[in-house]
């Protein structure tokens, strides 16, 4: 009997010990992955504080330099850089485009999902199926016709083709409808009707506020996606002056240039483009991590 007990005890100890070892090893592995995730950005930050010749001669170093402000100054003042990279305009344009597109995407996706969920009409389910199917048609496939058509109606080099299409965002409609299905009581619409509320007002003043959690998550994702969008602006605004380009376009111009060879300044420029979105992400990371699983967004 005592023998049995000792065997049982040692086995259990062994088990816990094994789990601890495994946890320890995994912790180290996660740390390595963390370093891999952050290393490029740390390299970027370190190099953005160093001088061009320093980087060229000494290569990489873990000691930050003291050239950050000089790099920044050159980035903003140097004639060559000024023509290719205008961070203030870039931020303004990207922010304008992303905010407008996000607003339209969220508002109209809610409207569409609400229309399909609340009302009974003949093509209801067919319309929903159509939305699910078109979710699979990617932008790249329609781009040639898109640009042809836009230049035909005179909208090439305008911001409208970047903003208006956001009204039709199938993925967000899908998400909103699933959310409404699970947590939007249709009775409330009936109650509003009895109280004499118009249909549109019911949507704006009652339904939208009730969908706040879903709206918040989707707004964050839509904003990030639009802010990061390079493909569509690059099709539409290709021939525009630098002043009117978005931030990702300016960064791509930086990478493709022969004149802009000051490494330190280039690193600074990339860092400027990355830092805001990283800060926003760190502030909202709770929502974002929670939202990825809910939405199953994009790509």
Binding residues among 63-122 for other proteins as defined by CB under 8 A: 108-109, 111-112, 114-116, 118-122
**Which of 26, 32, 129, 216 lies at the binding interface for other proteins (CB under 8 A)?**
26
Alpha carbons 9 and 15: distance in angstroms, whole number: 10
Alpha carbons 263 and 253: distance in angstroms, whole number: 14
Question: In the range 136-195, which residues lie near other proteins by CB under 8 A?
Answer: 136-149, 161, 164-165, 167-168, 170, 173
243 vs 279 by CB, closer to other proteins: 279
| DSSP string over 150-206 | HHHTT-TTSSHHHHGGGG--HHHHHHHHHHHHHH--THHHHHHHHTT--HHHIIIII
**Which of 1, 37, 79, 194 lies at the binding interface for other proteins (CB under 8 A)?**
37
Alpha carbons 123 and 111: distance in angstroms, whole number: 16
When asked if residue 32 is in the footprint of other proteins (CB under 8 A), the reply is no
When asked if residue 222 is in the footprint of other proteins (CB under 8 A), the reply is no
Cβ of 109: how many Cβ atoms within 10 Å? 27
Instruction: Count residues near other proteins (CB under 8 A).
Output: 98
For the four alpha carbons of 224, 113, 132 and 233, in that order, the dihedral sign comes to negative
Among the listed ranges 52-60, 83-91, 176-184, 211-219, the one in contact with other proteins (CB under 8 A) is 52-60
**Which of 66, 187, 195, 258 lies at the binding interface for other proteins (CB under 8 A)?**
258
Question: In the range 273-292, which residues lie near other proteins by CB under 8 A?
Answer: 273-274, 277-278, 281-282, 285, 288-289, 292
Token pair in block for residue 259: 């004149």
């Amino acid at each position: 009997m005592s023998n049995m007990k000792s065997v049982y005890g040692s086995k259990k100890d062994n088990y816990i010990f094994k789990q601890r070892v495994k946890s320890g090893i995994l912790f180290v592995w996660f740390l390595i992955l963390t370093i891999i995730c952050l290393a490029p950005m740390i390299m970027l930050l370190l190099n953005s504080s160093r001088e061009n010749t320093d980087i060229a001669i000494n290569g990489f170093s873990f000691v930050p330099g003291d050239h950050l402000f000089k790099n920044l100054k050159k980035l903003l003042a140097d004639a060559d850089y000024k023509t290719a990279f205008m961070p203030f305009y870039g931020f303004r344009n990207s922010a304008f485009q992303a905010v407008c597109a996000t607003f339209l995407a969220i508002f109209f996706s809610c409207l569409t999902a609400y229309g399909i969920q609340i009302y009974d009409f003949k093509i209801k389910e067919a319309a929903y199926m159509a939305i699910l199917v078109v979710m699979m048609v990617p932008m790249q496939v329609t781009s040639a016709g898109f640009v042809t058509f836009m230049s035909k109606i005179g909208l090439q080099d305008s911001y409208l083709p970047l903003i208006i299409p956001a009204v039709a965002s199938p993925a967000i409609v899908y998400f909103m409808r699933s959310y409404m299905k699970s947590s939007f009581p249709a009775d409330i619409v009936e109650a509003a009707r009895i109280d004499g509320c118009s249909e549109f007002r019911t949507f704006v003043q009652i339904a939208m506020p009730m969908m706040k959690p879903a709206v918040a998550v989707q707004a964050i994702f839509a904003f990030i996606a639009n802010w990061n969008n390079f493909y569509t602006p690059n099709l539409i605004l290709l021939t525009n002056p630098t002043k009117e380009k978005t931030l990702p376009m300016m960064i791509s111009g930086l990478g493709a240039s022969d004149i802009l060879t000051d490494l330190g300044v280039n690193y600074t420029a990339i860092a400027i483009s990355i830092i805001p979105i990283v800060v926003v992400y760190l502030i909202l990371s709770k929502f974002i991590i929670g939202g990825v699983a809910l939405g199953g967004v994009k790509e």
